[in-house]
A and B are shown apart, each in its own frame.
Chain A
Amino acid sequence: MTSAIIIGIYLSMLLCLGLFSSRLFSGSGKDFQLAGHSIGPVMLLMSLFGTTMTAFALIGSTGEAWQNGIGVYGKMASASGIVHSLCFFLVGVKVWKLGHKYGYTTQIEFFRDRLESRNIALLLFPILVAMVIVYILAGILGAGTVVNVFTTGAFPEMFPGNPAVPPSVGAIPPHVGSLIICGVVLVYVFFGGMRGTAWANTFQTIAFMVLGVLTFFVIAKGLGKGSMIENMQAASAAVKTTWTTRTGVSQSEFLTYMLIPLSVGMFPHLFQHWLTAKSANSFKLSVVAHPIFIMLVWLPCIMLGVWATTDIATSIVKPLARLSHEVAGDQNKVLPMLVKGLSGDVLGGFLAAGVLAAIMSSLDSQFLCVGTMFTNDIAKQYFTKGEMTDRQTVFWTRTFVILVVAVTYGFSLLNPRGVFSLGVWCFSGFSSLFPLIFAALYWKRLTKTGAYACVIAAAGTWGWLFWLAMNWAGEEKGRTLSEYLIHLPVGGNVYELMPVTGMILASTIALVAGSLVSKPLSNATLEKFFPAES
């Protein structure tokens, strides 16, 4: 019950923060969607970091380390430290410059101008929204699991549960937990807009980083009767080498995994966050601190994941022993079980709040982003002839945010596969569109035809590979969608490649070929986006 009360207090604080930030709201559409371009370096760092760290970073990384070992750090964390900052540097700063100059709020507004194509929205919008919704789903499912595990035993009469499935007894069911979290995020996004989102992200990023580090030390202390260092050494010594090396990962898979963080360059919600910056210099802190912040969050999670595989951990946290590496979704329960099992109720509640903070700091940006895209790219363009008053802009954005939350929550009730699997495929989809944003910023010869070909090739290869992965996961019992690889035979060897490799290759070839066979864009457009002085 204590954990449930602390989670309740934390959520109430967030609601207050959202409502308070709404008092600074000027009433303009730009203020609601971009916080009036007022975000400085620290809040930008916290917003960008909080937005990119999700259920995927905390629950997914711990679970993946428990499932496959330390390789996940190199595949996702250190690679992201290099590639995310590269994207902020090469894409984010330039997008901010153009957005600031020409008044863009969404990616599609930028592409519409850059490609001289009013209807690019009709192709790009459904794809971007579908992928963001998959991303949101991962967050909603993760939030439901966390609330479920941390409220175990709190409400025995209201939620009797099934005694054969221990976390369910007296716990808020996952679908109710997801609903509560969606409701809280919805309220502060609805009232606070981008400013409320940025404030909440800053607050929540601090919360999950501090509480995350605290979690690590509390769990390390709880792993035995010796000092914390002795416990950590004993737990590490007990981990089998399969988990402390990368013997289960091929080098070609590891290499091609580095393409996945390119997704950051095409996340529509990050695009919107970039445009909130007060100045280009505001990006500098994010570029430098992002890799170090990633390390601070991921390193403890990976250690916890590999320690959870040992007899030491399973003898202390009994429910861990019931988890199976063969059951899809079990890996998502590792971190909540460790936290619940090795910390007191009070600290457990705070730590649960930290995990929820990480999840919510992504959900808010995604909700607001999809609402903004519906308003600016569809409603404004196709229903109000390009004109909208500030009042209408805010009204439509809020309405679409509510719809997106409702629809996504509905999808979550269908209980799709594990958070990590969804995340990897979602990120791969965004990465496959990276050539488009990169070419739009740096290649004058990009044309409308090339862009359309790129998007169609990316969507086509994603769909085809996902279908193959679904069939494969159906045949290979206990394997998840994220484990599906392309097998490329070359000179007698077979190389394992992440599916994203095929997607990026196809979209890049289509972009270049489509552009070269079509007529270049007008000089006016090229001068607008590539002025002589730059």
Chain B
Amino acid sequence: MPGNRTNDSTKEITMKVAVWSLVVLLIILHQDVWLWDDATLVGGIVPMGLFYHACISLAAGITWFLAIKFAWPVDDAAVATTHKPGKGGGA
């Protein structure tokens, strides 16, 4: 159905834009100037700046999960082999 196809395509583009926006946001949040001098110890153990960046690592994992779910660039089934096996590549 053409209508459904258009809707799917719009949704796909929206999700891709959302995922890449999250990546950009992650890069901006990584530059946490607001915690630069904060010597608070989270739980009395982990310095605030370190705790924040550990959270950034976890957020990166979540963001990349969304990326593989909604913006994966390659369809395995569409990849064909054209080289001769055992010959190596190149010119």
Contact = CB atoms under 8 A, between A and B. Distances in A.
Interface of A: 28-30, 70-71, 73-74, 77-79, 81-82, 85-86, 89-90, 93-94, 96-97, 99-105, 108-110, 112-113, 118, 229, 232-233, 236-237, 239, 241, 244-247, 251, 254-255, 258, 279-281, 284, 287-292, 294-295, 299, 302-303, 306, 376, 380-381, 386, 388, 390, 393, 533
A31 to B, nearest CB: 9
A258 B30 contact: yes
A107 to B, nearest CB: 11
B89 A78 contact: no
Contacts of A281: 76
A381 B46 CA distance: 54
B73 A94 contact: yes
Task: Tell which of B41, B54, B82 has the most Cβ of chain A within 10 Å.
Answer: B54
Interface string B24-50: 001100111100111101011111011
Given A81-B61, A233-B44, A29 B88 contact: yes
9 contacts: A28-B86, A85-B64, A101-B81, A103-B85, A109-B90, A245-B37, A246-B49, A281-B76, A376-B90
Of the four ranges (under 10, 10 to 19, 20 to 34, 35 or more), the interface on chain B belongs to: 35 or more
Contacts, number: 176
Name the 8 nearest CB pairs between A and B, nearest first: A103-B83, A109-B90, A104-B89, A103-B89, A291-B60, A295-B57, A244-B47, A280-B74
A287 B68 contact: yes
A81 B60 contact: yes
A247 B57 contact: no
B36 A246 contact: yes
Contacts of A233: 41, 43-45
B56 interface: yes
Nearest to B38: A245
Contacts of A294: 57
A288 B41 contact: no
A64 B74 CA distance: 39
B18 interface: no
Contacts of B26: 82
A244 B83 contact: no
Contacts of B32: 74
B23 interface: yes
Contacts of B90: 103-104, 108-110, 112-113, 376, 381, 386
Given A93-B73, A258-B30, A103 B84 contact: yes
Interface string B59-80: 0110011011000111110111
B36 A245 contact: yes
Contacts of B11: none
B87 interface: yes
A292 B61 contact: yes
A113 B89 CA distance: 9
A194 to B, nearest CB: 14
Task: Tell which of B30, B53, B61, B68 has the most Cβ of chain A within 10 Å.
Answer: B53
Nearest to B73: A93
Contacts of A81: 56-57, 60-61
Contacts of A244: 39, 41, 47, 49-50
A109 B89 CA distance: 6
B41 A237 contact: yes
B74 A94 contact: yes
Nearest to B67: A89
A388 B88 contact: yes
B53 A30 contact: no
A237 B91 CA distance: 62
Nearest to B56: A78
B47 A85 contact: no
Contacts of B60: 78, 81-82, 85, 291
A236 B41 contact: yes
A29 B89 CA distance: 12
Given A113-B90, A388-B88, A295 B37 contact: no
A270 to B, nearest CB: 17
A29 B90 CA distance: 15
Contacts of B41: 233, 236-237, 244
Contacts of A288: 61, 64-65, 68
Contact of A393 (B33, B65, B88): B88
A242 B1 CA distance: 63
A288 B70 CA distance: 13
B49 A245 contact: yes
Given A85-B60, A104-B89, A287-B67, A299 B54 contact: yes
B82 A101 contact: yes
A251 B44 contact: no
Contacts of A239: 47
